[in-house]
Structure 1
């Protein structure tokens, strides 16, 4: 399945001279002095194309710093005039949009907590009808590609064409070293379904800790993301929100200089020759894998028939536990990623249950 969206190419509304888009700035606009010092330091470093700052901060629980609101917008207006850099802020209500546009904010973004609610997204889309402004949409907090695409479709229906996605990671119940699980497959599936949609990585909210920023940022670049949005603060440890995931503008500049920006392709004919050869081998192996999988499903179907004829239930928990454990051990010995094999066998098991259910139903219907 794919979605057709009429999107203006990124380079047509923001000139990055062929480099990945770089959006940088503090998590929150705290004081006029803090905004001024942080942004002027960013401008001095020279890596940013856009300045970001949180003006309205949706917090998980009340009592936390929720942003300075309208009072912060003149500060951003002033640094925009001083540096010449466009400014981006998060909006969550029609009132936010009205105020942001009043003070000359150039780019809007919709946060993860807003994206998850279609009613909120529709209100924002309705408020933006007739407005020619770029809008970036963060992934919803839960891993739902359809919900993410739906937000873009609502904005598109309102006439907006300067759109881009921000991948900031997803909430889940599993323990990971990151604040939000990357779930790379979700973002890549979005790109597969909407190939012309620019994709921007947000390592700050994904990492949650500055120690992981470099590795995640490099991963975004290696996956050919169109840009990055990274939080930076004049004095990160004293930041009023998300202190642990911010860098100073100078430290961010140093990190970016150490990263490698790779090309999406190579002009080397020998490279293409080797790649064609390796891809042909993969195609053959995939064909063999599918043939083996088909043979496995044929056995599963036969097992379903025996269970049916002997009035045995389909799901057998002890057998599933044994398969799950033994395949994981086999994978470990073969040097395969354990999560790959676990996910693969979970899908195979679900398909096996479905196949045996079909066998059971075929008799009951007859």
Structure 2
């Protein structure tokens, strides 16, 4: 993809790119006070929800188009850039009238290719940055597809926002980070600016610093963080918004990492460690190969004795013991659980293939 870097968006932006502001634009006073406080903390790009897609009806869905003149007023007053979510061509048309600088496509829109295409078509010939949030569910293909649709529409100022993924098993985060997915996106399209949205991942303001720093450690290009002048009384997502003072303190304490190593001695040590990692990875694959050979033997035995491939007691034992073993080895038990979920799924597949071998009816 021929994508322009953030520095070439003609908005005077710096890296890393920090975007902050309230979940929702509520009143002229709330917006003005929040923006004034954020500018005082050095924020140059403000975010604010105008139209809010909600899961259930009768929830607060944003104040709508009447917020756009308020945004134009604070843009002129404080000399800031402004980003909002758009979910339809009508939103695009209304927002452009008031000089909105950056659009983002929300997670609920990204899941629908028809919606994405309609918005992309409405932006043909318009030179404006568009940021695409990942879909609610962990589907990299949908995310890539949305980016491609906007790129095909001629958008070169294109970026992605990682806001986490729905996961009912996650008891810590509102949306699980699942870092491997945004890193997968970056592998496919290294030129696309990638921001992290710790507010929607965490759902709680006390967790935001850790996720924000992790994103920068993983070489993300910036952050989008929700900030409100009075978050406890916010009309939406109160628990995940920071006061501007706390946001400023967070941004000042975050550390950015160098991508390249310019010290020859350090590079030599890093290369040595990586060689050792490669050796261990080969050993891991050899062990997995041996395990799958044993799995096939078990499958043959079950076939000879007319035993079902899937056995619940064995399944339960694997998922009870492996996290315990991992914890004893000072490994993350959740990582072990996820790993053996994959291994067990592949094992079932192998044994099913054994059961089906030479048992397909011959068709004359």
Contact 1:91 1:108 in 2 (8 A): yes
Partner of 1:82: 77
Q: Following superposition, which runs of at least 4 residues in structure 1 exceed 6 angstroms of deviation?
A: none
SS at match of 2:223: strand
2:95 matches 1:100:
yes
Q: TM-score, normalised by structure 1?
A: 0.94
Q: TM-score, normalised by structure 2?
A: 0.94
Partner of 1:340: 335
Partner of 2:351: 356
Partner of 2:265: 270
Partner of 2:31: 35
Encode CA deviations 1:318-338: one digit per residue, 9 max, x unaligned.
222223323222212111111
2:30 matches 1:23:
no
Cα distance in structure 1, aligned partners of 2:3 and 2:260: 24
SS at match of 1:23: strand
Contact 1:126 1:158 in 2 (8 A): yes
Structure 1 residue 84, shift from structure 2 partner:
2.1
2:185 matches 1:152:
no
Cα distance in structure 2, aligned partners of 1:108 and 1:135: 5
**From 295, 299, 309, the counterpart of 2:294:** 299
Partner of 1:55: 50
Cα pair distance change 1:174/1:326, threshold 3 Å: closer
Encode CA deviations 1:188-225: one digit per residue, 9 max, x unaligned.
12212222221101111111121112111111111111
Structure 1 residue 110, shift from structure 2 partner:
0.7
SS at match of 2:55: coil
Unmatched 5+ stretches in structure 2 = none
Structure 1 residue 288, shift from structure 2 partner:
1.1
Structure 1 residue 97, shift from structure 2 partner:
0.3
Partner of 2:6: 10
SS at match of 2:177: coil
SS at match of 1:228: strand
Partner of 1:182: 177
Partner of 1:196: 191
* Aligned positions of 1:303-314 closer than 5 A: 303-314=298-309
Contact 1:21 1:49 in 2 (8 A): no
Cα distance in structure 1, aligned partners of 2:154 and 2:205: 38
Encode CA deviations 1:161-194: one digit per residue, 9 max, x unaligned.
1111111111121142222221112211221222
User: After the TM superposition, which of the residue ranges 32-41 and 280-289 deviates more from structure 2?
Assistant: 32-41
Cα distance in structure 2, aligned partners of 1:116 and 1:129: 21
Cα pair distance change 1:61/1:330, threshold 3 Å: same
